[in-house]
Chain A
Amino acid sequence: MLYRVIDAAELPLLVSAFMQQYEVVAPVKRGRSYVFDAIEHPEDMVLDYPTTSASLKKYFLPPKETLMRFNAQTNRVAEHTLEVPPRVIFGAHACDINAINRLDQVFRDGTYNDPYYCARRDATLIVGISCTPADSCFCHLWDADEARFGYDLFLQDIGDRFLVSISSVEAANILESACNPREATDQDRIDFRHATRRRQASFNPGIPDIQDVAMLMDAFHKDDFWEELGSRCLSCSACAAVCPTCFCFDLQDRLSPDGKQGERYRVWDACTSPQFAQVAGGHNFRPEGRERVRHRMYHKLNGFLANHDRMLCVGCGRCVKACKADINPVKVLEFFKQKGADDASAA
């Protein structure tokens, strides 16, 4: 990876340069929380922010998206063009970039590349920024606290400067034209290592580190714990809505009032919704909250790992805050920690 250093004072110039050519999306303050939104001035963004309440997936997989239009009388597709604006996401945390990398594995799988997702992904540049973990963060447990790819630029805050990892030509050219990137000095490297160690040391030690969680998910698949956890689930789908890696969707048709034409669209869906696994004729493969919550956790902490060698959780902690029933991966980790303690005292 190519590294250069820029002064912190140059950052607004970089943002302005992107704004010449792209819509710039960045973290902004809304009430007491932070969200990603399009900005009009570099000073609108807040780069020292805790995790945003909603993730970045809406820019690649909108909550609702038209896939095609159709003529219902002839039962054939009609003309439809999706045009995606060129966009820069400025100030994404490592967990969120890692989440997008996981979405890439699903939507650009090489067999069935999703043209809508790919168009958005190709039209988007990502500028990452280093962060300080909040209490609900556990990205380090899943090896998601560093973004190794999936961005165009990554800014490491090293005091009054940024160490910039440069990944794409497109972003390199803009960086070059807007700022005065210079070679990193020994002092820059020392400061970078200090910053990294500071971040690594500031994670909440109360969240248990259970590295064999995937195996335990299989071993305790029938445990009463899932009933305890699942019976609390309100099926509100808030977890899936805020999750940066939840990608499930439903496909639906909507007709115009005259019934002559319509659109086929997709909307976010969640495996915790009661009818999610129902088939024609009414049989439901996961009728109980216990089964649905367990499936969601299992897919995240075991299933996706089995297929893609990484978990479908980046430890961003959004669900920890969003779930009204206190159901989240941290509860699963705490359960396994308790199991371990029980076993130790029994032995």
Chain B
Amino acid sequence: MPLLHSAPAKTVEVNPLGERVTPLSGAELMAANPYRPWPARITSITDLTATEKLFEFRLIDEAIREAFRHEPGQFVELSIFGVGEAPISISSSPSKHGFIELCVRRTGRFTEVLHTMQCGDIVGIRGPFGRGFPFEQMKGHDILLVAGGLGIAPLRSLINNVHDERSEFGKVTIIYGSKNPSEVMFRDQFEMWRHRKDFDLYLTVDHPDESWDGEVGLVTKPFEHLELDARHTYGAVCGPPVMYRFVIDEMRKKGIEYDHIYCSFERHMKCGMGKCGHCQIGHQYCCIDGPVFNYWEAKNIQGSM
């Protein structure tokens, strides 16, 4: 319809890269239209298991790349135009700038397509979104990290961040449970850490094979012989929905405070900005109020667990 009216029209523009009229900072560019994904190149792909790959991306625009800073536990919206968008938690540590690692399980149409992509291919990224783990607050404390299955993806960001600032933390314990040995991700990294004195690492599987020399049993099993200074410990949990209650029960039994236990929740954050509604849990939005909530907050959200 032609514009016949004389009052000023309002416009929203989505411009391709390189056609910016006024020079804006990366943060301003991202804020101008937070729905707009920014092009990123796949710079590395590592097979982790039969169904999971670790992708490394680099944002192409320098201003955007510079402005991109994340907290452990935050996520991005990954775009493949024509296929759609998916919220994926960041697996790389905030201590490393310039690239973003995402650990992706092949589980639906979007991830099927992503898994066929090659190094050099372009995707879109917007974010980071959400509230991550309270890294600064955790400093000076002992840390107990518990991951189940793909829950290692967001926790790896925290684990590597703790690793890079190891002297800031007390005792660090990592429990990582998988169904079977072939599903253990980042195995090389953890194999190396098994011999380090500054990490207490428990890799456990439900169903071992003859090659397995780690723990056997559910992710709660290592709690049996865990010694904690509970009052000075922060817990962090991420895993499949059924896992939370059991792990948190164990942490509570050990005496860790309600608000020192942090959990990262999975929901379908479609917009990432507290609008589309898909990730609502009770009165909260997983995308802006979480995805990381402490257990006290989680207890106060209807339908969180």
Query: Interface of A with B (CB < 8 Å)?
Result: 20-23, 67-72, 74-86, 106-107, 109, 111-116, 118-120, 122-123, 170, 218, 221, 247-253, 255, 259, 262, 264, 266, 269, 271, 276-281, 283, 285-286, 291, 295, 298-299, 302-304, 306-307
For chain B residues 261-299, which have a beta carbon within 8 Å of chain A? Answer: 266-268, 270-271, 273-278, 280-284, 288
User: By DSSP majority rule, is chain A's interface helix, strand, loop, or mixed?
Assistant: mixed
Residues of A within 8 A of B105 (CB): 280-281
* CB <8 Å contact, A276 and B7: no
Alpha-carbon distance between A197 and B46 when the two chains are bound, in angstroms: 71
* CB <8 Å contact, A299 and B10: no
Closest to B271 in A: A251
In this complex, the member of B1, B82, B282 whose beta carbon has the largest number of chain A beta carbons within 10 angstroms is: B82
Given contacts A76-B16, A81-B12, contact A262 B81 (CB under 8 A): yes
Residues of B within 8 A of A20 (CB): 6
* CB <8 Å contact, A251 and B84: yes
Alpha-carbon distance between A45 and B280 when the two chains are bound, in angstroms: 39
Task: Tell me how far the C-beta of A307 lies from the nearest C-beta in chain B, rounded to whole angstroms.
Answer: 6
Residues of A within 8 A of B288 (CB): 111
* CB <8 Å contact, A303 and B280: yes
Answer yes or no: B21 CB below 8 A from chain A CBs. Answer: no
Of B121-129, B200-208, B251-259, the one contacting chain A is: B121-129
* CB <8 Å contact, A79 and B15: yes
Answer yes or no: B13 CB below 8 A from chain A CBs. Answer: yes
Closest to A174 in B: B7
Residues of A within 8 A of B123 (CB): 75
Known contacts A247-B275, A248-B277, then 19 further A-B pairs from the complex at CB < 8 Å, ordered by chain A residue: A70-B82, A76-B17, A77-B15, A77-B37, A77-B81, A77-B124, A79-B15, A80-B13, A82-B13, A83-B11, A85-B5, A86-B9, A119-B11, A123-B8, A218-B302, A250-B278, A276-B278, A286-B303, A295-B303
Alpha-carbon distance between A68 and B80 when the two chains are bound, in angstroms: 13
Query: Interface of B with A (CB < 8 Å)?
Result: 1, 3, 5-17, 19, 31-37, 39, 79-86, 105, 107-108, 110-111, 121-124, 241, 266-268, 270-271, 273-278, 280-284, 288, 302-303
Alpha-carbon distance between A291 and B80 when the two chains are bound, in angstroms: 32
* CB <8 Å contact, A22 and B7: yes
* CB <8 Å contact, A279 and B267: yes
Task: Tell me how far the C-beta of B274 lies from the nearest C-beta in chain A, rounded to whole angstroms.
Answer: 7
* CB <8 Å contact, A123 and B10: yes
* CB <8 Å contact, A106 and B275: yes
* CB <8 Å contact, A269 and B9: no
A-B contact pairs, 30 of them (CB 8 A): A20-B6, A68-B36, A75-B39, A75-B80, A75-B123, A76-B39, A77-B15, A77-B37, A82-B13, A83-B10, A84-B11, A86-B10, A106-B275, A109-B274, A116-B12, A118-B10, A119-B10, A251-B35, A252-B84, A259-B82, A264-B81, A277-B268, A278-B268, A280-B108, A281-B105, A291-B303, A298-B282, A299-B283, A303-B280, A307-B283
Alpha-carbon distance between A298 and B122 when the two chains are bound, in angstroms: 41
* CB <8 Å contact, A253 and B278: no
Alpha-carbon distance between A99 and B276 when the two chains are bound, in angstroms: 17
Residues of B within 8 A of A304 (CB): 283
Residues of B within 8 A of A77 (CB): 14-16, 36-37, 81, 124
5 closest Cβ pairs, A-B complex: A303-B283, A248-B277, A86-B7, A112-B273, A119-B10
